[in-house]
């Protein structure tokens, strides 16, 4: 039997990215114009929840929108009490994108700058660490799903640099 540890969970996140996130068309309202569905984070959260539930329902509780302290954690995974070697984790999700999805009745999307996206993504680091610490969970994953055009190395580096300081696994 494979032990459910942080590396196993990280591998499952990579699998989700390759098998679902990179393949889905349901997250886009207009992919050519880089406009996501609204709210994109909720759609990603739901799909990741189903993926983790399918993978681990027989050995852990996978919950959405769990009240923790002064906030709501996107996803938590807590192993069944009989699985003493398995670990627990929090998954906080952030979505970065080039444009805000236009509200009904409007057609012009509002541009989101790289600086705004970086600040938004990094805001999740402390939030994720606080949820982990409050609930005494084994691991904390900040998962940033980037809908921006191009490869934003600055965004990834900023998230990684901020995550290391608080022992959050930035993805």
Residue 8 clears pLDDT 70, i.e. is over it: yes
For residue 64, pLDDT beyond 90: yes
What pLDDT was estimated at residue 102? 82
User: Do residues 43 and 27 lie in contact, with contact meaning Cβ atoms separated by under 8 Å?
Assistant: yes
Question: Does the structure show a pLDDT above 70 at 1?
Answer: no
Q: Are 76 and 88 in contact (CB under 8 A)?
A: yes
Residue 86 has pLDDT above 70, yes or no: yes
Distance CA 158, CA 122 (A): 7
Does residue 101 register a pLDDT over 90? Answer: no
* The pLDDT of residue 150 is above 90: no
Can you give the pLDDT at residue 41? 93
Q: How far apart are CA 67 and CA 55, in angstroms?
A: 23
Average pLDDT over every residue of 144-161:
90
pLDDT of residue 2: 75
- pLDDT at position 152 is 81
Q: What percent of the chain has pLDDT over 70?
A: 99
Coil vs helix vs strand at 152: coil
pLDDT at position 69 over 80: no
Q: What pLDDT score was predicted for residue 103?
A: 78
Tokens of 58: 């027989």
């Amino acid at each position: 039997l494979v032990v459910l540890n942080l590396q196993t969970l990280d591998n499952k996140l990579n699998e989700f990215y390759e098998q679902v996130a990179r393949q889905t068309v349901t997250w886009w309202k207009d992919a050519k114009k880089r406009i996501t569905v609204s709210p994109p984070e909720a759609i990603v959260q739901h799909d990741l929840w189903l993926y983790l539930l399918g993978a681990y329902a027989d050995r852990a509780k996978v919950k959405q929108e769990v009240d923790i302290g002064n906030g709501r954690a996107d996803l938590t995974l807590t192993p069944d009490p009989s699985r003493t070697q398995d670990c627990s984790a929090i998954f906080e999700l952030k979505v970065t994108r080039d444009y805000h999805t236009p509200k009904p009745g409007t057609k012009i999307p509002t541009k989101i700058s790289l600086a705004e996206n970086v600040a938004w993504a990094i805001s999740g680091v402390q939030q994720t660490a606080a949820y982990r610490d409050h609930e005494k969970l084994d691991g904390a994953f900040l998962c940033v799903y980037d809908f921006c055009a191009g490869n934003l190395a600055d965004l990834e580096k900023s998230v990684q640099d901020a995550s290391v300081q608080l022992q959050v696994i930035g993805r």
